[in-house]
Amino acid sequence: MTANTPTQRRIDLDWLRVILIGFVFIFHSGRFFDTGGWHVKNAETFFGVQVWTTFLAMWMMPAIFMVSGASLFFALGSSNGKFVKDKVLRLLVPLVVGVFTHVAVQVYLERVSHHQFRGTFFEFLPHYFDGLYTSGGNFAWMGLHLWYLLVLFVFSIALLPLFRWLQGRGARALSKFGDVVALPLVVYALAIPIALLMVNLNPRNLLLGSKDWGGWPLPVYLFFFVYGFVVISHAGLQRRIVQQRWLSLVLGLAGFAVLFVIWGTQGDPYFGSTRYAQVFTVFGISSWCWVLAIFGFGMKHLTRNSRYLQPLNEAVLPFYVLHQSILIYVGYVVVQWNIPALAKWAIIAPLSFAVIVGMIAIIRQVNVLRVLFGLKPLHRSVQPVPTVTPVPQP
């Protein structure tokens, strides 16, 4: 039994998309002050902030890929050609624009703040094309934080034949799988592939094992992406996730507490060790529980439409594209001030947010800018309102 048809929308997914991108902004606004490496850092860093950013990294991008996979279920109503064109315009265009404009400034400020370059941005610009950023050079081919757009594009195109099959001839197999996973507690078994990949993928491998992609290896996101598609296709599985939302939350909290104790007392484990396997098994399982809790509470409570939802949902993509660049521009200046770190954050976050919102207000009104930031151009004709599907309730 499927929960929806590909021509419908889901209010809860739209709300989750908006909320999760908000957390991405909060996450990056804290990166100036945690103990990990980043493009621009405050002189004083804090272990407590590192705990917070690690907590967010545990579920933030996995949940976003889940929402993306679920949203793809509805996007398959178009032809293959139209689907690919839409992904190119919404994902690749803002990625390419970012790589050659505002992301280049991010790289410049990183090099200056890390004492790797002296001079103006225009003096740095020719050097932006010296080598690939991921190999020690400057050219940010993946757009730094815009890597998500590139990965989402690759996943969407590569898995298009599979998802078409699952909505067609494979619909019965998908339904049967959903029936099994919808049995009590069985959905937690989907954490097994995630945990196995986290333990066994070598973090020194950039594309297959590195955790520099939002805290996770890229292959792990593939599972969250597919899981989102599976979950949204099956009403019974969604009801089970809603019913078990409190259990998922408790398990997620317990897993994070265990990790906090291990990391706080014993430090980072090394790849291949028993403790590494233990830590990242718990990390993978706990993350899946957090994502289930987020989806469970979202499907239960984020069911009401609002006149603000459509403009907020449209603003998600340009907000994501701009947020880290603006944070770094503002943060580069503010972290140099001789004021308390908390005061710096209290300036960086609100000021950056205000600048981004102001820029989006302009972008949404100018068709050329809309296209460059992945939005559809405005038309004078009235567009039909998409059908909104109520969230299945337990």
Tell me phi and psi for residue 374, to 5 degrees: 85, 10
60 and 27 Cβ atoms separated by less than 8 Å: yes
Q: Report the distance separating Cα 160 and Cα 77, nearest Å.
A: 12
Give ∠ CA 175-178-179 in degrees, rounded to 5: 90
Which positions of the chain have pLDDT values less than 70? 1-8, 380-394
Domains of the chain by residue range: 9-389
pLDDT value at residue 97:
98
Residue 296's nearest CA partner among 344, 247, 332, 345 is 247
pLDDT value at residue 390:
46
In this structure, is the dihedral angle defined by the CA atoms of residues 91, 195, 19 and 294, taken in order, positive or negative?
A: positive
**Tokens found for residue 362:** 């302009």
Q: What is the mean pLDDT of the chain?
A: 93
pLDDT value at residue 265:
80
pLDDT value at residue 6:
53
Q: Letter for the amino acid at 330?
A: V
Q: Report the distance separating Cα 36 and Cα 136, nearest Å.
A: 18
Give ∠ CA 234-240-242 in degrees, rounded to 5: 105
Q: Kindly state the greatest CA–CA separation across the chain.
A: 64
pLDDT value at residue 392:
47
CB atoms inside a 10 Å sphere around CB 173: 11
pLDDT value at residue 5:
54
Residue 230's nearest CA partner among 185, 279, 179, 281 is 179
CB atoms inside a 10 Å sphere around CB 272: 10
